[in-house]
Amino acid sequence: MTPSTPAARRPSIGASCVRRIAIAAACLWLAGVALTGASAAEAWPAKPLRIIVPFAPGGGADSSARVLAEAMGPMIGQSIVVENKPGAGSAIGVTAAAQARDGHTLLMGSNSMVINPSLLPSISYDVARDFEPIGMVSSQPLVLVVPADSKSQSVKDLIAQAKAAPGALSAGNSGNGTLAHIASEIFASQTGTSLTTVPYKGESALMPDLIAGRISIGFLNLPSVISPLKSGRLRALAVSSPQPVAELPGVPTFRSLGFESLEVQGWAVLVAPKGTIPAEGLARLESALNKALASDAVRKRFANLSLTPLPMSREATGQFLNAESARYAAVIKARGIKVD
């Protein structure tokens, strides 16, 4: 009879299994940590977003940003804060956004972001190179206005008056190189007239001289002219929107008068610094933006601000920005527009 092996000398099959299980469990745990880390790295957004507005509070771009921050935050799953970075005709804020690499910064841009590169030699950003479009946001027409006692009752009258005395009519604007300035240059070019440009530091500075008749015409933003038009201190001759403006019944569009090139509207666009937000994140932002713009709540708030929602796909937005860049560059070069 074979003597039994003492328990202390028997191979411990249970201990071996335990060791193997422990090793396997450790491997699974490490794999889980790796997967969790990868998921965390890919999760977006990981913190609140900020929208840089390159202007002081107020105005179309700032108002659009604040309305959309409130509407889009719940859809994205993070709060969205608005940060104003005004200065240098929006160049400071746009440049700051182009250089932001945190993956959670957006820019609410406007016409100036595509105008400035053709005006300011110091501009370091390139719209097509440095930004990825998310979508167009809103538009706001310019209104061609004259003092209430002006001899011009229509655009036709104004052209005749300008041709009768070249250079005698003055066109006020809110600063050299602004959209209003460019609109007046397009007007002069398309009508074969000569106007004397008078820059001011903003529309509020221009308005008293326009109402008093010390300047002849102005291309002004819709919200700023509604009150003086209703009170009879100014007269509107045309609007730059494709369709008539409800707030200004009877005022024709430039398109209806045969001047399609004068469809020069203020607009706002939402973009991100290129290469900072994953493709899935950009798609989520595009979807949230267009859902917000389609909502009754946002449309009502935009209407109260005289803003028209301008939903557009990312691809179409990129094409629009390229076209606007080329358009303004051509006008600036042809008319010799410079910033003092």
- State residue 116's pLDDT score: 96
13-17, 143-147, 268-272, 276-280: least confident range: 13-17
Q: How far from the centroid of its chain's Cα atoms is residue 252's Cα?
A: 27
In a domain, 15, yes or no: no
**Amino acid 58: pLDDT:** 87
In a domain, residue 31? The reply is no
State the pLDDT confidence band at 7, using cuts at 50, 70 and 90: very low
| Cα 172 to Cα 89, 100, 144, distances in angstroms | 17, 36, 11
How far apart, in whole angstroms, are the C-alpha atoms of residue 191 and residue 281? 47
pLDDT in tens, 254-294: 999 999 999 999 999 999 999 999 999 999 999 999 999 99
Same domain, 162 and 236: yes
5 pLDDT above the threshold of 80: no
Instruction: Convert the pLDDT of each residue in 164-182 to its tens digit.
Output: 999 999 999 999 999 999 9
Looking up tokens 């491997």 gives: 27
Q: Which of 262, 292, 321 is the last residue of a domain?
A: 262
Domain CATH for 53: 3.40.190.150
Distance CA 51, CA 65 (A): 7
- Rounded to two decimals, what is the model's pTM? 0.85
Mean pLDDT of 185-207: 95
**In whole numbers, what is the pLDDT of the chain averaged over residues?**
90
* Residue finishing a domain among 219, 236, 262: 262
Q: How many domains does the chain have?
A: 2
Confidence of residue 9 (pLDDT cuts 50, 70, 90): very low
- How does residue 36 score in pLDDT terms, banded at 50, 70 and 90? very low
One domain for residues 128 and 154: no
